[in-house]
Amino acid sequence: MLEGRPSRELWDVVDWSDAQWSAEGGESLAELHGRVAAYLKDLCAEPPADVMALVTHGDTIRAIQAVVADLGPDAMPAVTPHNGSVTRVEFCP
């Protein structure tokens, strides 16, 4: 339904204000947030290195920012990082 469509077409289709919303067969922001939280917990439990680089999409970066700030999926940052940008996050104690 949404795959392959330009992002400008999604503004009339996606309910960006509802973290529970997902396209048919897709993942909601709440589910993404939960998946990211579990991954970061596992990563911190057994870090492969002192410094790690994760390469990912903007919504995943927003989810990481929320998890690290101890915010739920409804409070994920509204601004998606630009393509090719670098976001530094310190999250393992």
Instruction: Break the chain into its structural domains and give their ranges.
Output: 26-87
Give the whole-angstrom CA distance, residue 38 versus residue 67.
Answer: 10
Give the whole-angstrom CA distance, residue 79 versus residue 87.
Answer: 12
Q: Using one digit for the tens of pLDDT, what is the confidence trace for 9-45?
A: 887 888 878 999 988 888 999 999 999 999 999 999 9
Confidence of residue 7 (pLDDT cuts 50, 70, 90): confident
* Orientation of helix 58-68 relative to helix 29-45, angle to 10°: 60
pTM of the model: 0.85
4: pLDDT strictly greater than 80: yes
State residue 36's pLDDT score.
Answer: 97
Confidence of residue 92 (pLDDT cuts 50, 70, 90): confident
